[in-house]
Structure 1
Amino acid sequence: MTKINIERLMKNIESLGTIGENAQGGIDRALGSEADVLARRWLMEYWKERFHRETKVDAIANMWLHVENGEDRKAIVLGSHHDSVPNGGKYDGALGVLMATEVVETILEQNIKLKHPLTIVSFTGEEPNPYGISTLGSKALAGRIRKDQIRNYFHRDTLENLADGIQRLGGDIEMWEKIPGKEEIGSYLECHIEQGKRLEAMDLPVACVSVITGIYREQITVTGEANHAGTTMMECRKDALLGACEVALAVEAVLLELQDKDIVGTVGYIKNMPNEANIIPDQTTMILDVRISNEEKKLEMQHQINERVKAIEAKRGVRVHRSVILNQPAQPMSEVVIRAVSQGIRQTGLQPEQLISMAGHDASNVAAMADSGMIFVRSIDGKSHCKEEYSTPEDIEACANAMLRAVQILDEEMAE
């Protein structure tokens, strides 16, 4: 049975992982940074050395390596992204690009004949970045952002316009119409670390992704009355911060009562006014982030939060204003790709479990234009977006071998 070269793959992970490494051992490789430029150069040089082909950089600076086979069919595209969060790890995103590279190398080395051409992609700016837009490259690919919108984004520190940043990376938004489209891409498969502990709990190295979660966000502003912290009796207070705390705890209670392990919520941003030790807060703003894929449960969640907020307003004498700032539905993965990945996992002797991705990924955008899917590899301790993120070579090898088989299955089952 054909297997990938795990020693080569791990060497590449370590090599790319030195680009953008900081003094704390994490990686700083944000969109447009010098480390982004160097990582792109490393990938293009490696691809040219191994595949003897030039990398194509599209209008939004996505990088594409095409391996043609003489047949006029849509491509099987493999990849992810190479940028990182601040002080991130060397697996998130980069592993997907390097595993795609290894799978294609193995197919060519072993002379495995396929009907469809193969393409490796590294998407531009998947992570949140100083320009303020994430999954940028795949959004452009899927038509979820327009050329004229690009000039509305500026780097928060340097004030560089995003269009100019893209040009520095080899892109050119004036070539927007030449970004690859539905005519060229038949299917997309992305490997990613799980970024959670579910695979650890199941003692499995890999899983197939069935759905990429929906994301629901509210900005919640609680308004009370400012007053002297020492002279205002407890029963006379209209404390916005304590009202906001009750709202946050009420949301937690509602989510727990839904009894669904694939629903999680966070209040990760809070702004308190006037934010002084001796003044009762009169306005507190926070952002609620909920990852939820079940639309019926989302409606139930909204109803229950409404009821609890009314009770908090009456109890504390505050006003609560809520506005939905994001209501992104869940994105199911393609049944064709799910079957191929599940069969690929089974062929390696493992149980093909399916998981909901609780984080967003480029695969969600690509799904708008082509059959799209993902395969997860176990994250040790569930760590991600930190320097401690880690997946073992054994798990990575199992995932890459399953992906190799999934590509061959996809090649047989794709319609075009």
Structure 2
Amino acid sequence: MKINLERLEKNLKELSLFGRKEDGGIDRSLGNEAEEEARSWLLEKALDMGAAIKIDAMANIWINWKTNNSDNKPITLGSHHDAVSDGGMYDGALGVLMGLEIMQTLKENQVPLEHPLQVVSFTAEEPNPFQISTMGSRGVTGKLTLEKLQASRHLITGESLGTAIKRAGGNIQGLLKAQVGKKDMAAFIECHIEQGRNLFDNKLSAGTVTKITGIYREFVTVKGEANHAGTTRMEYRHDAFLAAAQAALVVEETAKALKRRDVVATVGWVEVNPNSANIISGNTKFIMELRFPGEMVKQQMLQRIEKDFLKIENNRGISFQREIILDQAPAPMDEGIMKIIGDEISKEQTPLSLAAEESSGLEFINHVPMLVSMAGHDAVHMSGITRTGMIFVQSIEGKSHCREEKTDGKDIEIAGNALLNAVLRLDKELTNENLN
């Protein structure tokens, strides 16, 4: 039994038309017309399959198929259907459509499952104008308050989040009733493109995820002294922008010094005030982000940053004001599900030689790469309520969040068949309580 790759690729292409721009990029963010059209298309696909549909308070789409009268909790597959501005056609969409393809394959082959099979497309996983990412999965796992949702407004139009969610079929007032917990789900697996080069560089189609990175962000305000750029001698300057630039290099060097694949650091947003050619900046703001595998590594990085920031303050006569805006711990994946996914990948994928494995710098178990996800996913939040796993599919040249994003059909097929068989094994092993 195999997935129907031709059908899956056709569905990927059809979904990619919603929000497609002339230059090839896709813009499908919560609240825009393309995102709403994509929702309608997904609902039609599910209805055509004869599946039952539920839209919860967060406008997450749940597609259900029950093969018997068992009261077992469902096995859930899925991801998200929204896309970043100028993004590609695989990020998120592949996980949702892969789930639907597996459901349809099992239905066509009349395979009786002991657990209901469920596919979910989460609302607003990506950063969006309402400034709440992984919104759907955070909402239903109890990580968002009604107050926060009610206060959120679209950055450009000013529309309330509640209005956008209602238009998508949800109702944020029902947030508490929509929340799911351990009693509601037997397992969750998310299929996603890797968004990195590990699989591509090693000519591998798929790998299993051991954990999802921790993410730490600070909003940093640098207070200096604004003054005339032409008349203020260099020794009398307290330039907030140059202090911020020096701090950004500290952040970069802190990550590079660790020489680890699973550590990165970025300053990706900067606001310079007054941002004028003839005025020394008196106030500059930036966001610092660290991604890390564990708390000890995070603390090691922060200690060095603290020490070097203090030097900048003393040398330049400026001050840093730091506010933590995100401190998300790493999310380990379930070991039993990891093993099942890894076993099934090994049956589908041609292994590397032992020498190639050793030179890759990756960890391998049974010739399958064990990968740390350096991007955040809905699976982070699902891991707090149920057994959770992820399967990564190769991204060509590691590209993602851009119009050049591409994943080859042969890699999708290998990952899809591995996931199909992982679902069948999981269905039996959960029933027989053999999953360690």
TM, length-normalised to structure 2? 0.91
Whole-Å separation in 2 of the counterparts to 1:370 and 1:337: 11
Partner residue, 2:220: 220
- Distance (whole Å) between structure 2 residues aligned to residue 317 and residue 173 of structure 1: 47
Equivalent position of 2:327 in the other structure: 327
Percent of pairs with identical residues = 45
Letter in structure 2 aligned against 1:85:
V
In structure 1, the residue matched to 2:44 is 45
Partner residue in 1 for 2:358: none
Q: Any idea what the Cα deviations from partners look like across 1:170-198, whole Å, max 9, x if unmatched?
A: 11234431454432211001111111111
Which residue of the partner structure matches residue 408 of structure 1? Answer: 424
Using the alignment, how far apart are the partners of 1:349 and 1:277 within structure 2?
57
Contact persistence 1:258–1:297 (CA under 8 A): no
Contact 2:18 / 2:34 at 8 angstroms: preserved in 1?
yes
Offset at 1:307?
1.4
Superposed displacement of residue 54, structure 1: 3.6
Further displaced range: 134-143 or 229-238: 229-238
Which has the higher mean CA deviation after the structures are superposed, 103-112 or 2-11? 103-112
Query: What's 1:384 paired with?
Result: 400
Matched AA of 2:403: K
**Residue in 2 aligned with 1:7?**
6
Task: Determine if contact 2:220/2:285 at 8 Å carries over to the other structure.
Answer: yes
Question: Which digits, 9 at most, give the CA deviation of each residue in 1:356-409, with x for residues without a partner?
Answer: 111111111111111111111111111111111000001111110111111112
In structure 2, what is the equivalent of residue 83 of structure 1? 82
CA–CA separation in structure 1 for the residues paired with 2:75 and 2:164:
29
User: In the alignment, what sits opposite 1:375?
Assistant: 391
Q: How does 1:228-377 map to 2 (within 5 A)?
A: 228-350=228-350, 351-377=367-393
1:16 and 2:15 equivalent?
Answer: yes
Q: Distance in 1 between matches of 2:72 and 2:22?
A: 47
Query: Contact (CA 8 Å) 1:13, 1:98: kept in 2 or not?
Result: yes
Count of equivalent residues: 414
Contact 2:140 2:178 in 1 (8 A): no
Residue in 2 that maps onto 1:203: 203
Distance in 2 (CA, whole Å) between partners of 1:73 and 1:121 is: 18
Q: Do the aligned residues in 1 keep the contact of 2:12 with 2:94 (CA within 8 Å)?
A: yes
Q: 1:322 corresponds to which letter in structure 2?
A: R
Partners of 2:349 and 2:275 lie apart in 1 by 58
Q: Which runs of 5+ in 2 are unaligned?
A: 351-366
In structure 2, what is the Cα distance between the partners aligned to 1:333 and 1:221?
Answer: 36
State the alpha-carbon separation in 2 of the partners of residues 279 and 174 from structure 1: 48
SS in 2 for 1:85: strand
Shift in Å, 1:323: 2.5
The match for 1:67 is: 65
Cα pair 1:336 1:410 within 8 Å, conserved: no
- Equivalent pair of 2:130/2:161 in contact (CA under 8 Å): yes
Secondary structure in structure 2 of the residue aligned to 1:163: helix
* Alpha-carbon distance between aligned partners in 2 of 1:180 and 1:290, rounded to the nearest angstrom: 30
Counterparts in 2 of 1:146-157, with a 5 A limit? Answer: 146-157=145-156
Q: Deviations over 1:10-55 (max 9, x none)?
A: 11111111111112211111112211111111111111112x1342
> In 2 relative to 1, CA 283–117 (structure 1 residues): closer, same or farther, beyond 3 Å?
same
Gaps of 5+ in 1: none
- Please identify, of 78-87 and 322-331, the stretch whose mean Cα deviation from structure 2 is larger: 322-331
Q: Indicate whether 1:55 and 2:53 are aligned.
A: yes
Q: Aligned Cα RMSD in Å?
A: 1.5
1:303 is displaced (CA, Å) by 1.0
Change beyond 3 A, Cα 1:6–1:290: same
Partner of 1:32: 31
The residue aligned with 1:173 is 172
TM-score by length of 1: 0.96
Shift of 1:304: 0.9
Contact 2:141 2:179 in 1 (8 A): no
